[in-house]
Structure 1
């Protein structure tokens, strides 16, 4: 992210936190009733996608690789609701229940991005992911308003 984008993000977050009029969108299409969060929130020129597990309507898919793919597919579907794609993602945070699976996750992850267009990323070990998930992914996408 360029210095200009970081300044715009800081300004957007300041405006949002200060209560000033900011364009904020809450996207919940497809979220299960009773879940206490939005699937994504657009604040200014950024879309923040909540952490996604490898779930489908019937629950978690089986296996680490399948959960990794499904989590990424879920993110792609949410971004599509904003007319965005994976190329708009600028930052991801990956939470993995077993960090020994980090390389396995990376093999799946890189298939969702162009090699020259990988987002900034953090990865951490997480004990006790929701629903017993093995991996959770959250992302931020840059989506300038036109």
Structure 2
């Protein structure tokens, strides 16, 4: 994304009624020590999840691409659940795949986490060198209106 497009996207988000950064809520329940990021940040009616790898407390799960894909999606679901939300709240995902030849394989797993006709907007891209040597990373944004 070019700087100009990024700036326009950020301006759109701000104009869409996002809260000020000072009002953001940072969610870190279960985040292993030493990770330099929050698992999720709520600002206004939106929740931004950090990219999730197929990891557990010990690191990358065994079993290759399919196991890592399921665990990454489970991690997204677990973070949302911890915030009182669910997969129905997800409106946008970005998928980073180390081997784009596995895109169709991931799609089979991905769709099982959502209701039919309730799939979030999504981008997918090939990525060389995901953190921890992972094969997949899933980043999501959720819409969850704040009760007024």
Regarding TM over 0.5, the answer is yes
- Report the equivalent of 2:14: 10
- Report the equivalent of 1:48: 48
Structure 1: where are the runs of 5+ without partners?
A: 1-6
Provide Cα deviations, 1:16-41, integer angstroms capped at 9, x if missing partner. 3xx6x5x3100011111111100000
TM-score (norm 2): 0.86
Contact 1:98 1:134 in 2 (8 A): yes
Aligned length: 136
- Report the equivalent of 2:29: 29
CA distance in 2: counterparts of 1:101 and 1:15, whole angstroms: 38
Contact 2:95 2:138 in 1 (8 A): yes
The residue matched to 2:31 in structure 1 has which SS? coil
Question: Structure 1 residues 67 and 13 mapped into 2: Cα distance closer, same or farther (>3 Å)?
Answer: farther
CA distance in 2: counterparts of 1:64 and 1:70, whole angstroms: 10
| 1:121 CA drift (Å) | 0.1
| 1:9 CA drift (Å) | 3.9
Provide Cα deviations, 1:43-87, integer angstroms capped at 9, x if missing partner. 000000000000011110121011000000000000012110001
CA distance in 1: counterparts of 2:136 and 2:28, whole angstroms: 21
- Report the equivalent of 1:119: 120
Question: Structure 1 residues 101 and 145 mapped into 2: Cα distance closer, same or farther (>3 Å)?
Answer: same
Which ranges of 4 or more aligned residues in structure 1 deviate by more than 4 Å? 12-15
CA distance in 2: counterparts of 1:45 and 1:29, whole angstroms: 20
- Report the equivalent of 2:61: 61
TM-score (norm 1): 0.87
- Report the equivalent of 1:3: none
Contact 1:54 1:61 in 2 (8 A): yes
Structure 2: where are the runs of 5+ without partners?
A: 1-10
